[in-house]
Amino acid sequence: MEAVKSAKDLVTTRDDVVAGFRWQAEEKALRANEFSAVADHFYYKAGKVGEIKGVDDIVADDRLYRFALGACALSAKAAQQLGRETCREIIGSTINFARVAEIEYQAELERRYFLTCGDALGGSMRNAIGQRAQNKLSDYVCQYLSDGQINHHVERNGGGKITEVRWAHRVLVFDRKPKFIGKNIDFILLDAGEYKTSLLEVPHKLLACGELKGGIDPAGADEHWKTARAALDRVRDAFKDRGLQSPALFFVGAAIEQSMAAEIFAQLTNGTLAAAANLHHQGQLAELAKILTNL
Amino acid sequence: MEAVKSAKDLVTTRDDVVAGFRWQAEEKALRANEFSAVADHFYYKAGKVGEIKGVDDIVADDRLYRFALGACALSAKAAQQLGRETCREIIGSTINFARVAEIEYQAELERRYFLTCGDALGGSMRNAIGQRAQNKLSDYVCQYLSDGQINHHVERNGGGKITEVRWAHRVLVFDRKPKFIGKNIDFILLDAGEYKTSLLEVPHKLLACGELKGGIDPAGADEHWKTARAALDRVRDAFKDRGLQSPALFFVGAAIEQSMAAEIFAQLTNGTLAAAANLHHQGQLAELAKILTNL
DNA sequence: TAGACTCGAGTGT
DNA sequence: CACACTCGAGTCT
């Protein structure tokens, strides 16, 4: 690749790491208010004498219920596993209803509620980070198509996330799992006019498979690369098992450290990977888009 | 194995899942107060007019600094990556010092601080969950040795965590990484009177290698089993590459789902795994301890 | 609907 | 210090 002349070209710069963590902090700050309404509602109710006398009053009010779950350190995941009855019981034995009118106790419950929300916010952010990376990549592809005056259509799911980009006789789909591979692939380029689930099971329709890792944390970089590499190996094996040639394989990462950069570069050189790019490197992304659209 | 007559015997019961999430909630609640001192200190300082006029006043006071980082949605990990200077700058541009004396603004900052702490608490909990599983397993081995009146010694690190159990001419060590395998192994049984780092590089001294997954979340079960399986495969390959026979391989998991149970059982049946146990199943643990100590 | 994804929160070497 | 561990917080298929 022109934009990757050596392993070093792939390595994420300190500035990009800093920018990534900065964005995360900003985005978290923006989302921080989402949880306040529930807490405020609790204060409102707790301030009116007799409104919260026992578990029943909490279970009957969705916002109070969510507040109480958080105050009891129960995540949505935990609450789902425990079931409504067990949650009710835990709330009953954890919240001291005799003290609900006390300002100090209210503050304590509030703090516990926000602690739980913080973990939830962290979880949402991890998804958002992955999503943002996917958007960045799909936007690049669309941009590339627009620049080349190639007509294309974008499909989005309910949440506005791009699930599919269509052009000419090509469909790029995200997060699909061909059964014959048995692994979820971050993006797949299909040789087809439109997407159908069944296409995923026709090996020769898969022109390319790619893994995208959007995390910026250097501590996770190597681990995520290993996972990606294993996933791509799995693709290659699935094709080999059927006596077919492997499709073009891609890797895009936001956090690329020195040691993994060497491995990626080696795979680029020996043709195992058709293209690789650092998500923060425009030139590399552009070249990847070019290779992808020329398949 | 006597205690594992079918795949179903390995599957984690709903009760164990519930108990696991309950424990997590209780443990989180116990740790919830750790963060209050810093917040209280902020209130104390913010309450005294003129004590917090700008960034300098915050950076100079460690507790205020930690509070401010949290209020700016910066985790310890992020703060480390950004560096002190950038953090200082972010604090300066995020905190509105003109409003620090306002009760409402103080409450808003407090909420943000606790959100960040919640994510931190979640991270600590994940480590604690893994630690607890390791304790449970090592306690079990010690118990088994005691029951058999086998003299043994336990070594602990600074934090009280068991790092090593010694008996007869055997040493069981936790979380070590033999360079010739290149992977961290959760527990390794060595044929030796005492532990030395160099022993890890002598393949025939490794009598057994085991992976332990302590998480209770069903959603993570399969993923963690895959990681464990890959790690054990890596061990087998490292021995095979040297023309040596693989040591006995073990798997212990707290969350075992139907589909992975079938895979584990198949590996038990064909001898790939020497033993496997559900961490919550005493009989299976006992048998695993027996197999381990009889090697 | 169960299962497998997103990724970084802390911790240890 | 760089890296590789712990695992579950949401989310999508």
Q: Which nucleotides of D are covered by protein (CB under 7 A)?
A: 2-13
Å between A253 CA and D5 C1'? Answer: 21
Nearest CA in chain A to B84: A18
Residue A36, chain B, CB below 8 Å: the answer is yes
Q: Is B25 on the interface with A (CB under 8 A)?
A: yes
B78 vs A21, A94, A110: nearest CB: A21
B230-245: average pLDDT:
87
CB-based contact A28 B82, cutoff 8 Å? no
> Residues of B from 120 to 139 whose C-beta is within 7 A of strand D: which are they?
122-123, 125-127, 129-130, 133
Q: Which two tokens stand for residue A239?
A: 């094709």
A67 close contact with B: CB closer than 8 A: no
Q: Record the tokens describing residue A97, joined without a space.
A: 């209803």
Q: Say if A218 is an interface residue toward chain B (CB within 8 Å).
A: yes
Task: Quote the strand ranges of B43-199, DSSP E.
Answer: 152-156, 162-167, 170-176, 185-190
pLDDT of residue B161: 79
Q: What is the mean pLDDT of residues B23-40?
A: 93
pLDDT at B295: 84
Among the partner-chain residues B39, B73, B119, the one whose CB lies closest to the CB of A119 is B119
Instruction: Confirm whether any atom of chain D, the nucleic acid strand, is less than 7 Å from CB of A40.
Output: no
Residue B198 confidence (pLDDT)? 86
Q: How close B263 comes to chain A (CA, Å)?
A: 15
| pLDDT band, residue B277 (cuts 50/70/90) | very high
Please tell me whether the overall predicted TM-score, pTM, comes out greater than 0.85 for this model.
Answer: yes
Measured CA to C1', what is the nucleotide nearest B132?
A: D6
Predicted confidence at residue A279, as pLDDT, reads: 93
Q: Which of residues 195-214 of B touch strand D (CB under 7 A)?
A: 211-214
Pairing of β B162-167 and β B152-156: antiparallel
Pairwise CB contact (< 8 Å): A73 & B114: no
The stretches of A184-252 forming alpha helices (DSSP H) are 218-241
**Residue A198: what pLDDT?**
87
- Residue A185 · residue A177 · CB < 8 Å: yes
B28 reaches A (C-beta below 8 A): yes
pLDDT at residue A146, as a whole number: 92
Q: Which residues of B touch A39 (CB under 8 A)?
A: 111
Mean pLDDT for the stretch of residues B275-284: 93
pLDDT given for residue A184 in this prediction: 86
Alpha carbons within 13 angstroms on the beta-carbon side of residue B82 total 24
> For B58 and C10, how far is CA from C1' in angstroms?
24
Q: Nearest by CB to B82, from A18, A81, A86: name it.
A: A18
Angle, helices A14-31/B76-94, rounded to nearest 10 degrees: 70
Q: For chain A, 295 residues long, give each residue's pLDDT as a single digit of tens.
A: 888 998 889 999 989 999 999 999 999 999 999 999 999 999 999 988 889 999 999 999 999 999 999 999 999 999 999 999 999 999 999 999 999 999 999 999 999 999 999 999 999 999 999 999 999 999 899 999 999 999 998 888 776 778 899 998 999 999 998 888 888 899 999 999 888 888 899 999 999 999 999 999 988 888 788 788 888 888 888 898 889 999 999 999 999 988 889 889 999 999 999 999 999 999 999 999 999 999 8
Residue A56 burial by Cβ neighbours in a 10 Å radius (0-12, 13-18, 19+)? exposed
Rounded Cα distance between B116 and B42, Å, is 15
Domains of chain A, with CATH numbers?
7-28+126-293 (3.40.91.10), 32-124 (1.10.238)
Q: pLDDT, tens digit, for every residue of B186-229? A: 999 999 988 888 889 999 999 999 999 999 999 888 878 888 88
